[in-house]
Structure 1
Amino acid sequence: MTELASPSAKRLQRPSWRDSRLVVGVLLVVVAATLGAKAVASADDRVPVWVAASNLVAGDEVEETSFARADVRLADGMTGYLPADAPAPTGAFMLRDVRAGELVPVSAVGDADAIDVQRVTVRADAMSTTGLTRGSRVDVFVTPKASSTSDAATTPTKKVLESAAVAAVLTNSGSFGSGWMTSVQIYVPSDKVQPLVEAVDGEAKLTLVPSVGAATGGGA
């Protein structure tokens, strides 16, 4: 019987650089990686800006801890915020309030010449200071000390400050008269400093009333 010839098995050969399919495959991988990197880079269009690390009040001097860096994505046309690709402007002053976590506008920071307020520490009834925190805005009412019991009913109460910024709320400073008092530092316009100091020296009663939109609780 004649035996059928069996086909000989071919060895698999390792592809070489001359193999066009291998070259095309490598090129496709390189192109895909390049396009992917460009897509990721173009999608991350965030920019570094400064945000308020705590409630900043008009009149505050900018310190190293005043701002914190944040990378944010700004909408088209949104400019005017303080960039964080440069050092924070320590030694400058806040020209208006900026709440904790808010972006800091360039226009909110300026030189000392633009500041027209001074810090004044006053003592007010603890009940009227409940809930106040740094950055709150208050109206300040003054009731002059009555010279006698009969004059107490006719002693006029006047609003001497409107929407004054609270710089700090200190601990209870002891009793004054029949109630507990709290020391509060407020920013006072320069032309109102003397009348307020005179009222404090005259042992007038000061009452702080939160203005509309005043910050309460938790502000640092």
Structure 2
Amino acid sequence: MTELVTPTAGRLRRPSWRERRLLVGLLLVVVATVLGARAVAGAGDRVPVWVAADNLVAGDAVGSGSFVRADVRLAEGTASYLGADAPPPVGSFLLRDVRAGELVPTSAVGAADAVGVQRVTVRVDAMATTGLVRGSRVDVFVTPKASTTAGRSVPATTKVLSSAGVAAVLTSSGGFGSGSLTSVQIYVPSEKVQALVEAVDGEARLTLVPSVGAATGGAG
């Protein structure tokens, strides 16, 4: 009778360094694949929108350099923003202020007939412009020129504008004995332009006071 051969158990062999490297490599491939899939899925959720390249002020005309493109992920239910899948609306106008780096709402841009302000240049004491930048908001005070007629009362200072947008702060200038003056371009509601121009023509003194919460910085 033939005896059955009894199998012998083989000894367990520790994986070689080559096998360990193979396992690590496979693990890295799996991780990279998962991360790549997540990145692609996340990129698909982003939409191109226009972002303000600088402080934009209500009344500004939109130019080719007013906006820059950004791809962002917008939460559901957020306000509608100007999509960058179409060219910027060059020739339209800002209807409200938009700070540098802020997404541009579609409601912030409109036609010329929707703009209710006009740009007026005034000259004020250079010290009154300290800290003002494009996009600042200022209250404008007017002090009429003192009359030389005897018996006249001292002219009263009145506030003629509240929270007017600063379009530009220009280079200061002045001559001997004239003091230093700076030209400031501000956006004035259309119905108040005439009164401000008349004050300037009457050599009234204008003072600009930053509104509460106004943007500030170096003059420029």
Normalising by structure 1, what TM-score? Answer: 0.79
Unaligned runs of 5+ residues in structure 1 are 1-30
Paired residues of 2:130 and 2:218 also in contact (CA < 8 A): no
Greater alpha carbon shift after TM alignment, 144-153 vs 99-108: 144-153
Partner residue in 2 for 1:197: 197
Partner residue in 2 for 1:77: 77
Partner residue in 1 for 2:63: 63
1:2-81 aligned at under 5 Å gives the runs: 38-44=37-43, 45-81=45-81
Amino acid at match of 1:146: A
Partner residue in 2 for 1:124: 124
Amino acid at match of 1:126: A
Distance verdict in 2 for CA 1:79–1:141, change over 3 Å: closer
Task: Classify the secondary structure of the residue corresponding to 1:192.
Answer: helix
Distance of 1:143 and 1:184 partners within structure 2: 17
Q: For residue 155 of structure 1, report the CA deviation from its aligned partner.
A: 1.1
Task: Classify the secondary structure of the residue corresponding to 2:174.
Answer: strand
Task: Classify the secondary structure of the residue corresponding to 1:187.
Answer: strand
RMSD: 2.5
Distance verdict in 2 for CA 1:77–1:134, change over 3 Å: same
Q: For residue 76 of structure 1, report the CA deviation from its aligned partner.
A: 2.4
Unaligned runs of 5+ residues in structure 2 are 1-29
Matched positions, count: 191
Task: Classify the secondary structure of the residue corresponding to 2:180.
Answer: strand
Q: For residue 34 of structure 1, report the CA deviation from its aligned partner.
A: 8.1
Q: For residue 42 of structure 1, report the CA deviation from its aligned partner.
A: 1.3
Partner residue in 1 for 2:5: none
Q: For residue 74 of structure 1, report the CA deviation from its aligned partner.
A: 1.4
Q: For residue 180 of structure 1, report the CA deviation from its aligned partner.
A: 1.6
Partner residue in 2 for 1:182: 182
Distance of 1:207 and 1:59 partners within structure 2: 22
Paired residues of 1:133 and 1:219 also in contact (CA < 8 A): yes
Q: Structure 1 vs Structure 2: percent identity of aligned residues? A: 72
Amino acid at match of 2:76: D
